[in-house]
């Protein structure tokens, strides 16, 4: 059983704050790490797919880094806005064509 952990489970921040959270995954048999953003009553939306150690990806105010040797990825949100409120999921993929194993998610709430 693959262990994919996300921390914290939930996070409350004020509008304008920058924040980050962590995804931990097995450091062996790594193929890719996927990040999703999931708003209530909607479908999870793909943010990033990261494959190389040291990868950094950016989409607007959201960025992510990857360390495959130690088995973690960070997601950063700069200047959080209320519309960033969502659950952020990471998913580990252990080989080409393998299914994705999801972490439990970090629920972010941004107060205006």
Partner 1 sequence: NAGVMQNPRHLVRRRGQEARLRCSPMKGHSHVYWYRQLPEEGLKFMVYLQKENIIDESGMPKERFSAEFPKEGPSILRIQQVVRGDSAAYFCASSPRQVSSGNTIYFGEGSWLTVV
- Residues forming the site for partner 1 (CB under 8 A): 31-32, 34, 36, 41-46, 49, 51, 89, 93, 96-105
The span from the CA of 32 to the CA of 4, in Å, is 13
The span from the CA of 60 to the CA of 84, in Å, is 12
Nearer to partner 1, 47 or 110 (CB): 47
| Closest distance of CB 66 from partner 1, Å | 12
Nearer to partner 1, 44 or 71 (CB): 44
Nearer to partner 1, 71 or 103 (CB): 103
Among candidates 48, 40, 43, which has minimal Cα distance to 77? 48
User: Is 73 within 8 Å of 23 (Cβ atoms)?
Assistant: yes
């Amino acid at each position: 059983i693959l262990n994919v952990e996300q921390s914290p489970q939930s996070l409350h921040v004020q509008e304008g704050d920058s924040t980050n959270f962590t995804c931990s995954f097995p450091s062996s048999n790594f193929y890719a790490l996927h990040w999703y953003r999931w708003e209530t009553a909607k479908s999870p939306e793909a943010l990033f797919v990261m494959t190389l150690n040291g990868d950094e990806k950016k989409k607007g105010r959201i960025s992510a880094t990857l360390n495959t040797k130690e088995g973690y990825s960070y997601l950063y949100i700069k200047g959080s806005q209320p519309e960033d409120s969502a659950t952020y999921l990471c998913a580990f993929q252990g080989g080409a064509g393998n299914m994705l194993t999801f972490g439990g998610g970090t629920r972010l709430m941004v107060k205006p």
